[in-house]
Chains A and B, each alone.
Chain A
Amino acid sequence: NAGVTQTPKFQVLKTGQSMTLQCAQDMNHNSMYWYRQDPGMGLRLIYYSASEGTTDKGEVPNGYNVSRLNKREFSLRLESAAPSQTSVYFCASLNSYEQYFGPGTRLTVT
């Protein structure tokens, strides 16, 4: 099992550009999550999907959209990137109690 995979690993965008971060899990988990990690702030939930076909806002959803494409895949889209969205983005999926995390995408917006 690959677990949770994320692409790309690194990305540099100019202000106003758009991009989609991809996440996939092969563990047959129902729930999936997108977090951002910023220094001194821990991880903050952007959006989550409790099951296929549903998505809900987390703590910091502004400027982002998500799609739960199927049970395996959960993508995060930045429609018009801003420097404040420079961060490390983690995808995770839930098995009962434990969330399993991907390796992260390091995004820089200039």
Chain B
Amino acid sequence: AQSVTQLGSHVSVSEGALVLLRCNYSSSVPPYLFWYVQYPNQGLQLLLKYTSAATLVKGINGFEAEFKKSETSFHLTKPSAHMSDAAEYFCAVRNVYTQGGKLIFGQGTELSVKP
């Protein structure tokens, strides 16, 4: 079975500071990994994805994530936080062999950005 754990349900950073949101996954087969962002009262939007090509993945809005198989991690980073980055972030995993493309989501991390 697959699972995702996001460390920290709330993360607060100052504007201009490094953003680091942690995600660890469990999967017995090669995974696809995703980060989604959800702004208040909206649906989810894909930030970036790992699909077994480059291990360092760049996404929208200056975010990036690195797939580390040995650590079963896929942490999300951004060098300098903006106020507009305040949102909830979800890490998700998908089995590359799964029919139907089902995603397993972590519980989410709410990012606050202080001026």
Footprint of B on A, CB under 8 Å? 4, 31, 33, 35, 40-45, 48-50, 56, 58, 90, 92, 94, 97-99, 101-104
Contacts and interface: CB of A to CB of B under 8 A. Distances in A.
10 contacts: A40-B108, A42-B105, A42-B106, A43-B90, A43-B103, A50-B99, A92-B44, A97-B32, A97-B34, A99-B103
A45 B2 CA distance: 13
Contact of B100 (A4, A44, A48, A103): A48
Given A42-B90, A92-B44, 10 more contacts: A31-B100, A40-B108, A42-B105, A42-B107, A42-B108, A49-B100, A97-B49, A99-B46, A101-B43, A104-B42
Contacts of A92: 44
In the A-B complex, list the 10 residue pairs whose CB atoms are closest, starting with the nearest.
Answer: A50-B100, A101-B43, A42-B105, A101-B44, A42-B107, A43-B105, A94-B101, A103-B43, A98-B46, A42-B108
Q: How large is the interface on B (under 10, 10 to 19, 20 to 34, 35 or more residues)?
A: 20 to 34
B102 interface: yes
Given A41-B107, A42-B90, A43-B105, A103 B42 contact: yes
B105 A44 contact: yes
Interface of B: 4, 9, 32, 34, 36, 41-46, 49, 51, 90, 99-103, 105-108
A50 B45 CA distance: 21
Given A97-B32, A103-B42, A48 B90 contact: no
Nearest to B49: A97
Contacts of A50: 99-101
A48 B102 contact: yes
Contacts of A48: 100, 102
A21 B103 CA distance: 21
Given A48-B102, A103-B42, A40 B107 contact: yes
The residue among A48, A99, A102 with the most chain B CB atoms within 10 A of its own CB is A99
